[in-house]
Amino acid sequence: MSRRTVAWIVGLLCVLALLPAGVARADNPIVQTIYTADPAPLVYNGRV
């Protein structure tokens, strides 16, 4: 195969890899829990 053909095939495979495989389901998220860096409460104007 020529270089140009190989480049087209690689480009096509890259584009196909970036396409979503299916519809994302809201009831099964990838990230199920969000953690913050500091879970301590914030004090603003003397109030928590």
- Give the mean model confidence (pLDDT) for residues 1-5: 90
Name residues whose C-beta falls within 8 Å of residue 48's C-beta, 6 or more positions apart in sequence: 41, 42
pLDDT at position 24: 60
pLDDT at position 18: 77
Q: Are 7 and 14 in contact (CB under 8 A)?
A: no
Reported as a single tens digit per residue, the pLDDT across 11-42 is 999 888 877 666 666 666 677 777 767 667 77
- Report d(CA 9, CA 38) in Å as an integer: 47
Checking if the pLDDT of 43 tops 90, the result is: no
Any idea of the CA torsion for 31, 34, 36, 40, to the nearest 10 degrees? -160
